[in-house]
Structure 1
Amino acid sequence: MINRQFTLAARPQGLVKRSDFAYAETPLPEPKDGELLVKTLYISLDPAMRGWMNEGKSYIRPVAIGEVMRAGTLGEVLVSKTPAFKAGDHVVGNWGVQDYAALPPEGLSKVDPRLAPLPKYLGVLGMPGLTAYFGLLEIGQPKPGEVVVVSGAAGAVGQVVGQIAKLKGCTVIGIAGGADKCAYVVRDLGFDACVDYKSQDVKKALRELAPKGVDVYFDNVGGDILDAVLTQIRMKARIVICGAISQYNNTTPVKGPSNYMSLLVNRARMEGMVVFDWAPRYGEAIQAMGAWLAEGQLKSREDIVQGLETFPETLNKLFSGENFGKLMIQV
């Protein structure tokens, strides 16, 4: 048996290319005492991965050249040399883009396929769902009757943000790319409205949909859309900066908001959000969202691509907007 791996070969310039990675076939790793051997079943593909490839200070160290590309993963324990897990257990972790890994138990969490389909644990019950839960509720702090706008509305984080905001009694407006995505979040997820940024003027559409302004903006894209929403915020608005996918592949300086004075005029707050800060409370969020899922109050959509060998091209679906829902690879 071999272990296929993608390691980082170069720091990407602009969009990721296959040549930025090295593909290798290595021997099956052997777990030491206290470790376990895990077979990868699903690999999570997230916009944050693009930032992890860059050098420089960030909230997490960059992936080193020659290191297996970091990624959220879900797999099955084949061999266990630790009492923490047994063969047959399903676990989530971050062992990267490879078929197998020998790992210590730290950083792994057991999941139950009887409670939810396995891909949900990399989506709504994984990092994207946790990001949505804590980013909206703790930083956005929505109140019943307020207007919540979320960009990347049909993506892994955005679809959860909008649904939680509806559960909290808010009016929810999504921003997404394309008529199909907008129809999905309104028809299937219960958003009140959605702006198609590819065919509509975002500023004008928001003015019509939220004439009194926006109370909470959950930003996943940055760039021009962030600028447009800033012109429509209300007094004491809260802007959650979760991501800036429109800027991740820039070869020129990142475009910052030119309408930031709206924060001053409206005494508004803009705050960055990194999900790892909330790790001690992950259990609370998973319990709440698991209950909403079981009751049918929370839905999610996954975009699952077959084959580890497709990794470089599949990752770029995130940046072209081709993915529809939580993107992952089934190995």
Structure 2
Amino acid sequence: MESVQVQVRELPAGEVGRRHFELTTVELPDPGPGQVLVRNTWTSVDPGLRLRLRADAPQGYFPAFPPGSAMDGVFAVGVVEESQADGFPVGSTVWHSYGWRSHAVVDSGEVAMNGIASLRRLDVDAVPAHAYLGPLGAMGLTAYAGLHVIDALDDTGTIWVSAGAGAVGNLVCQIAKLSGLRVVASAGSDEKVAWLLDEVGVDAAFNWRSRPLSESLQQAAPEGLGLCFDSVGGTHLEAALHALNDNGRIALCGSISEYEGAAAGPRNLFLATSKNLTLRGFRGSAHVPLLDEMQQRLGCWLAEGRLVHRESIYEGLESAPTALADMLAGRTTGKTLVRL
């Protein structure tokens, strides 16, 4: 059985482009005991992939992608075509960690990506399969876990969500709103701001490129912030530290601003001390025990039509590098996916 894979040709020094990848066809072994052959139908495109396209992938994070090899540790959903694993019959829909390729042989006993991406059978009667790469998968768990670790799910007050139109950010906005918080969101274009206000339903939103962040936050939250969910870092985190009230709490999800360049700030970190702030770094994959709770809660909201689910879909495996470059440049909205 042959599989077409996207492999890393060279690690990018700056912006990611198609030239850094190549399509390669490899021969797969037949599945052995406990294994399945999966034909992938959708594969995920996530900001964190950029961190793994560096020789110095952050300590404690998933390992860097070695040039000339397949990109393991990327979410995908697909259909089982051959099976020697109990509980995974031919024709069943599953998720696993071997995305950015057409086919994969997956071991049902492998603990993948801290357990979040281990082979799992999916219920696709009520929701489409690719929803498990968005609100019902790692994106949903990251959003839910981030609010959980700063005790925001049962809180009141105002939260600022940076990168609010992104795959995780828009879910954070919606979970926070449905949980009773006042939600302020920021995004990088007027179109995304309009989507956040008109469809996602946040209370206030602004284009962070239009004017200084401090001014936008002052207008959107004159009373200050109690909470923040930050995926950008740099000047965004700096602005959050300034706008947070005493005893405020920040969930540190990522630092997109430095994924393709040098870190910039924050220069006012002492405010965390003077205001008694809590800065809580977390990874969604460290909170796998919350997965069932998250899927039940968000699954109900999806079924009831209370959760907006927007996607930027690219066609064909060969488009995956372009999808990644577009997402990192802010040209996508919601969850970025490749349909195979």
Q: In which range does the TM-score fall when normalised by the shorter chain?
A: over 0.9
The answer on 1:78 being equivalent to 2:81 is yes
CA distance in 1, matches of 2:89, 2:153: 42
Q: 1:248 aligns with which of 251, 259, 284?
A: 259
Q: 2:196 aligns with which of 178, 185, 198?
A: 185
Q: Could you tell me which runs of 5 or more consecutive residues in structure 2 were left unpaired when the two chains were aligned.
A: 110-117
Q: Quick check: 1:36–1:80 contact (8 Å CA) kept in 2?
A: yes
Q: Quick check: 2:257–2:263 contact (8 Å CA) kept in 1?
A: no
Letter in 1 for 2:25: E
Q: Which residue of 1 aligns with 2:114?
A: none
Q: Which residue of 2 aligns with 1:229?
A: 240
Q: Which residue of 2 aligns with 1:37?
A: 37
SS in structure 2 at match of 1:328: strand
Q: 2:229 aligns with which of 218, 230, 238?
A: 218
Per-residue deviation at 1:282?
Answer: 1.2
Q: Which residue of 1 aligns with 2:219?
A: 208
Q: Quick check: 1:68–1:96 contact (8 Å CA) kept in 2?
A: no
What's the TM-score once normalised by structure 2's chain length?
0.92
Q: 2:97 aligns with which of 94, 99, 103?
A: 94
Q: Quick check: 1:119–1:302 contact (8 Å CA) kept in 2?
A: no
SS in structure 1 at match of 2:149: helix
Q: Percent identity?
A: 34
The answer on 1:283 being equivalent to 2:319 is no
CA distance in 2, matches of 1:145, 1:58: 33
Letter in 1 for 2:27: P
- CA distances 1:95-144 after superposition (whole Å, capped 9, x unpaired): 02110001111311111221211221100111111100010122253554
Q: Quick check: 2:40–2:99 contact (8 Å CA) kept in 1?
A: no
- CA distances 1:143-196 after superposition (whole Å, capped 9, x unpaired): 543101001111110111111111121110000111111111111111001011
Q: Quick check: 1:140–1:240 contact (8 Å CA) kept in 2?
A: no
Q: Structure 1 runs of 4+ off > 3 angstroms?
A: 142-145
Q: Quick check: 2:159–2:183 contact (8 Å CA) kept in 1?
A: yes
Q: Quick check: 1:140–1:217 contact (8 Å CA) kept in 2?
A: no
Q: Which residue of 2 aligns with 1:292?
A: 301
Q: Quick check: 2:152–2:176 contact (8 Å CA) kept in 1?
A: no
Q: 1:60 aligns with which of 52, 59, 62?
A: 62
CA distance in 2, matches of 1:109, 1:24: 27
Q: Quick check: 1:140–1:216 contact (8 Å CA) kept in 2?
A: no
SS in structure 1 at match of 2:307: coil
Per-residue deviation at 1:261?
Answer: 1.7
Q: Which moved more, 1:87-96 or 1:16-25?
A: 16-25
Per-residue deviation at 1:28?
Answer: 4.7
Letter in 2 for 1:90: T
Q: Quick check: 2:96–2:106 contact (8 Å CA) kept in 1?
A: no
Q: Quick check: 1:140–1:218 contact (8 Å CA) kept in 2?
A: no
Per-residue deviation at 1:213?
Answer: 0.7
CA distance in 2, matches of 1:67, 1:215: 45
Per-residue deviation at 1:11?
Answer: 2.4
Q: Which residue of 1 aligns with 2:3?
A: 3
SS in structure 2 at match of 1:83: coil
Letter in 2 for 1:44: S
The answer on 1:264 being equivalent to 2:261 is no
CA distance in 2, matches of 1:229, 1:221: 11
The answer on 1:156 being equivalent to 2:167 is yes
Per-residue deviation at 1:314?
Answer: 1.4
Q: Quick check: 1:29–1:101 contact (8 Å CA) kept in 2?
A: no
CA distance in 1, matches of 2:14, 2:280: 26
Q: Which residue of 2 aligns with 1:321?
A: 330
Q: Which residue of 1 aligns with 2:16?
A: 16
Q: Quick check: 2:312–2:333 contact (8 Å CA) kept in 1?
A: yes
Q: Quick check: 1:247–1:255 contact (8 Å CA) kept in 2?
A: yes
SS in structure 2 at match of 1:264: helix
